[in-house]
Amino acid sequence: MQYDDSCLEALLTEKGSHSMSFDVPLAVNCSILFQELPLLQRPAAAKAAGFDAVEFWWPFSSASPASTDVDAFADAILAADVRLIGLNFAAGDMPNGDRGLVSWPGRQAEFRDSVEAAIAVAGRLGTRTFNALYGNRVAGTDPTEQDALGIENLSWAAQRVATIGGTVLLEPVSGAANYPLLTAQQVIAVIDKVGAPNMCLLADFYHLAGNGDDVGAAIAAYGARIGHIQVADAPGRHRPGTGELPLADWVAAAVSAGYDGYVALEYAPVGDTATDLAEVGRSMKLG
């Protein structure tokens, strides 16, 4: 993920200084936004709203989608003339509370199938950043067993996406009672156990704040290890500027620490998505 030339030039000259302002480009998460449209129509809607970059949660009904489904998804991205900057691996039945397959005993094959499918998508679209949701604790299963499986699966996934120059992300999640990774420190501890150079923290500022993490301190400690940023405001998980979180300050701190990627809007719109996005704008002004 890279800034366009104008944003990159501004960062090179102004990063770390608040005497001038600069813009950070925004991407649209088309799994939580544009839900009023069929999934394959959402990339074009994002483009029409003025955005050139999108990301998705797992966009298929199966962890091992048919090649025709992979092609249809890739075709929709290409036809819309947007970049797919991020893609989740399969995470189970998220509407019913699942939050990933990485540490879920008995579902290793599904997780690995989804990694291979994501690599196939990347072959069409050049995507290089993939989010692996760790998974909830499973009742009746030893957490130590789950964590050992999680390390094994993450190590395997990191090796697989390394073959295409890709990065695996791991994130804290809020609002899921049985999800064990709540803070940046907990995520980094797992990444350190994996030991893969192409694993990074996905810093979702909404989730971190919702879990009571000290976001500013987390950025200070781990800013150089952030591979992607997602934002929504709180309370409500609505667009930036509607709540109380100092999102621009946190993004500026991450940029000062070396972050050079997009900031993805992963929020619940109020009403029509395109109208709501117009209130955000196409970039986040810092400084």
- In a 13 Å sphere around the CA of 145, the CA atoms on its Cβ side amount to 10
User: Is-catalytic flag, 171?
Assistant: yes
Question: In a 10 Å sphere around its CB, with 0-12 CB exposed, 13-18 middle and 19+ buried, how is residue 18 labelled?
Answer: exposed
Give the C-alpha separation, 263 to 245, whole Å.
15
User: Is-catalytic flag, 110?
Assistant: no
Which two three-digit tokens encode residue 78? Answer: 């290409």
Give the C-alpha separation, 51 to 280, whole Å.
11
* 3-class DSSP assignment, residue 7: helix
Which two three-digit tokens encode residue 46? Answer: 């994002």
Which listed residue (9, 36, 116, 266) is catalytic?
A: 266
**Is the Cβ–Cβ distance between 154 and 168 less than 8 Å?**
yes
Give the C-alpha separation, 241 to 261, whole Å.
21
Matching residue, tokens 């692996």: 132
Long-range CB contacts for residues 141-150, cutoff 8 Å, separation at least 24: 141/105, 143/180, 145/105, 146/103, 146/104, 146/105, 147/103, 147/190, 149/102, 149/103, 149/104, 149/105, 149/108, 150/102, 150/103, 150/190
Which listed residue (36, 110, 152, 171) is catalytic?
A: 171
**Which residues are part of the catalytic machinery?**
171, 266
